[in-house]
Amino acid sequence: MKKIYIISLLIIIGISAKAHTNKTYNFTQLFPPDSCKVLMPDISGKYSGKCKNGFAQGNGIAEGKDKYEGHFKNGWPDGKGKYTWANGDIYDGDWNGGKRNGKGKSTYKKVKADSVVYGIWEDDKFIKIFFPEPYNIIIARYIDRYSVIKVGEGKGGNRICLKLKRAGFDNLNVTNYSFLADNGSYQQEGNYFVYDQVVFPVAIKINYSTPNKFNTGMVDVVFQITIAEPGDWDIILTN
């Protein structure tokens, strides 16, 4: 009877050992998310993203009192990243070893309008202001030509005036019009679309449908731009 008990026990152990040998573990089971360390105290509450050797490495999001979205190295913000403080201030730019190093954009929250500064940092210290390009065209689809012109310094209020043209005249054959912007107050003045009280930098995306220049069909226009320099601007799109 004793021999039978021992043989049965060995069989059970063998089956159990085989089951553990065949069991597979994914990365999350072996290294749960909270084992991936972020070394900056104010963002070390929770982390989601890539890891290496138990530290945040690669792209990820870390959040504690403050929040950081971007690239990490050895547990520190490193590379390109966006840091948001608890009071709403934001730095979006270059990092090295958990410190602001290189070019970046700082946005300081204010009651009426945010204050934006483009600058160069070294070991977390502001060195000097740098000026980005006044504007940057991202997409210009189904447009024969376009003009982006600064017509004033914005003393009467920063504004953007959109003028749609076709064959040298105001384009009155526009449908499905859409103007998406980070901010601003919209009004239509005659055939023009005007946005007042704009806070720069501003990102804008314009969509509309119009007949092509040969009048043989419709085209769906897409125009996307960012304007960094404050002032009064005219955007002229010609089909």
Confidence of residue 114 (pLDDT cuts 50, 70, 90): low
Cis peptide before 32 (omega within 30 of 0): no
Model confidence at 18: pLDDT above 70: no
Per the model's pLDDT, the better-predicted residue between 117 and 48 turns out to be 48
Beta strands in the chain (DSSP E): 46-52, 55-63, 67-73, 76-84, 90-96, 99-108, 115-122, 125-129, 135-141, 145-152, 159-166, 169-170, 175-181, 185-189, 192-196, 202-211, 218-227, 232-238
Greatest Cα pair distance, the chain, in angstroms, is 105
Taking the whole predicted model, whether its pTM rises above 0.85 is answered as no
Model confidence at 110: pLDDT above 80: no
Cα torsion angle, 192, 193, 194, 199, sign: negative
| Statement: 27-129 belongs to CATH 2.20.110 | yes
Beta strands in 85-167 (DSSP E): 90-96, 99-108, 115-122, 125-129, 135-141, 145-152, 159-166
Confidence of residue 203 (pLDDT cuts 50, 70, 90): confident
Model confidence at 131: pLDDT above 70: yes
Confidence of residue 155 (pLDDT cuts 50, 70, 90): low
| Whole-number pLDDT of residue 156 | 55
Per the model's pLDDT, the better-predicted residue between 85 and 22 turns out to be 85
Query: Please, where in the chain does CATH 2.20.110 lie?
Result: 27-129
- Among the residue ranges 115-119, 121-125, 155-159, the one predicted with the least confidence is 155-159
Q: Work out the average pLDDT over 203-219.
A: 92
Confidence of residue 214 (pLDDT cuts 50, 70, 90): confident
Q: Are 207 and 178 in contact (CB under 8 A)?
A: yes
The percent of residues above 90 in pLDDT, for the chain, comes to 59
Distance, in Å, from the CA atom of 164 to the CA atom of 193, rounded to the nearest integer, reads 9
Confidence of residue 17 (pLDDT cuts 50, 70, 90): very low
